[in-house]
Amino acid sequence: QGGGSAVIDMENMDDTSGSSFEDMGEMHQRMKEEEEEEAEGEAGAGEEEDGEFLGMKGLRGQLGRQVADQMWQGGKRQASRAFSLYANIDILRPYFDVEPVQVRARLLESMIPVKMINFPQKIAGELYGPLMLVFTLVAILLHGMKTSDTIIREGTLMGTAIGTCFGYWLGVSSFMYFLAYLCNAQITMVQMLSLLGYGLFGHCITLFVTYNIHFHSLFYIFWLVVGGLSTLRMVAVLVSRTVGHTQRLILCGTLAALHMLFLLYLHFAYHKVVEGILDTLEGPNMPPFQRVARDIPVVSSAVLNTTAKAIALTL
């Protein structure tokens, strides 16, 4: 019995040891599985973190694009508002809002020099009258081309007349405004344009009369009287708005010389200069095309005679 009990104990021991080894293997297997699950969990968490990081980057990119679009739209609105502001015709309306009676009164005043130069004289800040006077001067120049001996080609040469008149008005006004700024004269660019534009009224009268009545003595009389009165009006206004004798002499002397010499140029040299420019561009004047009778060649006459003789013999 003692031996049998020993064998049973050994078998129980062997079963216990076997079950313990199996338990160790299962525990090891479970540990591996848990490690693999933890590794997969960490990998999944890493992918989720990467996805969240990429999502943050995408969100930041969208915000950046939205901010850039808003800035672009804001700049575009400001630019369009600025362009529409300068393109709006309402800005120019105050400079052309004038009654015909006021224009007529200012035309008459442009020929009457002012006497009071101790305080600044008033200058009309409108451009309707000066603009109409410039266009009138253009029409008078074209009329002078037709009534003079100038050979007109390419229509009426309106472009040359417009360029000359507007070039003088805008160019001399800009130059005098710059000179007035240097001489510390109290005048704006619009006032200078208005002053010089109304000063062309004397030029229009002088040229219109002398283009129709061709006497040089009459021109010199109108040049001194009419042109001189309009020039004295501008000079007196500038003197009233300038401080200092030297500044007055420089400013008024320059304006008077340019205004009077421009009238001499329009009367004596303008048509010749235009004709010289056309000769340079197109060559000298060509005589007009005339139709002349052509001589019948000898061969043609011989053929006609032979044909006539053949017809006579046939008949």
85-99, 187-201, 232-246: lowest mean pLDDT where? 85-99
Look at 97 and 16; give whichever has higher pLDDT.
Answer: 97
What is the percent of the chain where pLDDT is above 70? 62
Q: What pLDDT score does 86 carry?
A: 58
15-19, 116-120, 158-162, 220-224: lowest mean pLDDT where? 15-19
Look at 202 and 28; give whichever has higher pLDDT.
Answer: 202
Question: Mean pLDDT, to the nearest integer, of 211-227?
Answer: 89
pLDDT tens digits along 240-269: 999 889 999 999 999 999 999 999 999 888
**Top mean-pLDDT range of 87-91, 153-157, 205-209:** 205-209
pLDDT tens digits along 86-116: 556 667 778 888 898 999 999 999 998 887 7
3-state secondary structure the chain: CHHHHHHHHHHHHHHHHHHHHHHHHHHHHHHHHHHHHHHHHHHHHHHHHHHHHHHHHHHHHHHHHHHHHHHHHHHHHHHHHHHHHHHCHHHCHHHHCCCHHHHHHHHHHCCCCCCCCCCCCCCCCCCHHHHHHHHHHHHHHHHHHHHCCCCCCCCCCHHHHHHHHHHHHHHHHHHHHHHHHHCCCCCCHHHHHHHHHHHCHHHHHHHHHHHHCCCHHHHHHHHHHHHHHHHHHHHHHHHHCCCCHHHHHHHHHHHHHHHHHHHHHHHHHHHHHHHHHHHHHHCCCCCCCCCCCCCCCHHHHHHHHHHHHHHHHHC
46-60, 109-123, 287-301: lowest mean pLDDT where? 287-301
In this predicted structure, the answer to whether residue 294 has a pLDDT above a threshold of 70 is no
Look at 50 and 125; give whichever has higher pLDDT.
Answer: 125
Q: What pLDDT score does 179 carry?
A: 94
In this predicted structure, the answer to whether residue 26 has a pLDDT above a threshold of 50 is yes
Q: What pLDDT score does 23 carry?
A: 55
- Confidence label for 296 from pLDDT (cuts 50, 70 and 90): very low
Look at 189 and 119; give whichever has higher pLDDT.
Answer: 189
Q: What pLDDT score does 14 carry?
A: 43
